[in-house]
């Protein structure tokens, strides 16, 4: 992220998604940033041969901006992904987040959710 002029604050996720909190370089769009992250991380993962076959991210992403006053809460939320998802699926969380920040959406246009990975919840 630093090579793009962003300030990475925390990166964490769960079995089917990743959260990244960063201070954004205003001269680079969010879509260009996500594209660069997906490209470089896919290359790295495939180079390490962590998965059989070829790893690739699915199309799409979600991005929500926060004010400076919310950074501590968002940081703690991202840091505790494993505990958080013991009781809640990503799909439920994502849709609630969209509604909470009043982002209009149609479910058929959301990216694929892999709830089967979390059937133990």
Q: What is the mean pLDDT of each run of 10 residues along the chain (121 residues)?
A: 85 86 92 93 94 88 88 92 80 85 84 56 40
DSSP-derived 3-state class of residue 10: strand
The C-alpha atoms of residue 43 and residue 12 are separated, in whole angstroms, by 19
| pTM recorded for the entire structure | 0.76
How many domains does one find in the chain? 1
Structural domain harbouring 98 = 2-118
Indicate the helix (H) or strand (E) that contains 35: helix 30-48
pLDDT at 60: 82
């Amino acid at each position: 992220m630093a090579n793009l002029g962003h300030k990475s604050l925390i990166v964490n996720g769960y079995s089917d998604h990743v959260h990244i909190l960063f201070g954004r370089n205003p001269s680079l769009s969010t879509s260009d940033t996500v594209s660069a992250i997906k490209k470089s991380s896919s290359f790295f993962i495939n180079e390490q041969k962590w998965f059989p076959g070829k790893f690739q991210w699915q199309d799409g992403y979600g991005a929500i901006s926060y004010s400076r006053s919310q950074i501590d809460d968002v940081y703690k939320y991202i840091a505790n992904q494993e505990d958080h998802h013991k009781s809640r699926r990503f799909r439920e969380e994502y849709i609630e987040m969209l509604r909470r920040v009043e982002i209009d959406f149609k479910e058929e246009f959301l990216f694929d959710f892999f709830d089967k990975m979390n059937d133990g919840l």
